[in-house]
Amino acid sequence: MSALDLVKTLIGFDTTSRGSNLELISFARDLLEKSGARCRLTPDATGKKANLFATFGPDGGGGFVLSGHTDVVPVDGQDWSSDPFKPEVRDGKLYGRGACDMKGFVGVALSLAPEIAKAKLKRPVHFALSYDEEVGCVGVTGLLEDLKKAGIKPALALVGEPTLMKIVGAHKGGAKLTTTCCGREHHSSAPEKGANAVMMAGEFVAMLDDVWNGLRADADPRFDPSHSTVQATVIEGGTAVNILAREAEVTWEYRCLPDRDPEKILQTVRERADSLLTKYRARASEAAFNTELHAQYPGLVMDEDSPAVRLARELTGANQVEAVSYGTEAGHFQAYGIPAVICGPGSIEQAHRPDEFCALSELEACEKFLRKVIAKATA
């Protein structure tokens, strides 16, 4: 299959994070094994999702990882001009959910499997396909733990997130959290005889905004925005207009500069939340803010001398290494001692939006780049 046909095929699998990715993983595994790859699967606890790690070339350590996630974000409520899971080419662009984020890269890489199999590799070329990146880079941790247990240590990882084929050597770390605001129900005509969890949630959100303001002074101009950020994204709670809410939930996130300590952000939020409780506990002793960490991923710290960055610059001729504020699995690879760099087709500006697309010229540029990677593995 051509690169374009493979990308289209992958888009046709609905791998929204809330569902399973096994149909896509089975397709990719079959394709890779028919080309001669040695494959490893690491399923999640439910058995409904899995990572796939495949290797061409000699056994042992070293080699290059071509890394991509298989899940995509939901299309619910978005106004698409075509079916997001039936890819279409229009005006030199491929439209479909995941076209740029990031089935474009994965499809191009898979299309080269027969060429990789025929190449006289002196070092391995690996594929790493993961689940649940979009909900906090969850799946790749199990893949990396499996490699560690198996004694497999690649030399570097190329993560194909959309960068318009520019070289990205740093990104922020982040986390998804929920804070449950616990109050006491009462008739709304007597608000001081209870604790309104919805009002608690409002104060908690305002406090998060203030914490964010406090982070602005610590800036790194390579990023946009240049500082760490904190924000609430979802609020749920309450039952009726005349009842003080017993419970409300705030979903929030932080995105932290990669060489800063995210625990300081969490500590600040917890301390500030505790200070908000005084007036509510005067009315209801059980009032509380209970915060749960659901997913966390490390930042990618800039290292322009890393073998991953050096290889990417050599093969692209790039003079500049950039930094981005979105997160990727590259930080996890780096944390496991595998140097990583990000370079992939498409623009992050198109990711997660209706009518997501990747220019065909970007897919072609990615194909040329990956062929250079293969050639380097034979040198």
Catalogue the active-site residues: 71, 133
Give the amino acid at 251: T
Residue 91 tokens read as 């005006």
Please state, in angstroms and rounded to a whole number, the distance separating the CA atoms of residues 122 and 295: 38
- Decide: 8 and 65 in contact? Cβ < 8 Å: no
Please state, in angstroms and rounded to a whole number, the distance separating the CA atoms of residues 145 and 205: 36
Please state, in angstroms and rounded to a whole number, the distance separating the CA atoms of residues 289 and 101: 35
Residue 273 tokens read as 């939340």
For residue 37, the SS3 value is coil
Largest CA distance in the chain: 79
- H helices of 246-335, in order, are 262-281, 307-316, 330-335
Give the amino acid at 320: Q
* Of 265, 217, 208, 262, the residue nearest 235 (C-alpha): 208
Please state, in angstroms and rounded to a whole number, the distance separating the CA atoms of residues 114 and 31: 9
Please state, in angstroms and rounded to a whole number, the distance separating the CA atoms of residues 150 and 146: 6
Cβ contacts of residue 358 below 8 Å, gap of 6+? 7, 93, 94, 99, 100, 104, 162, 345, 346, 350
Tokens 């996890």 correspond to what residue?
332
Q: What angle do CA 87, 91, 93 make, to 5 degrees?
A: 45
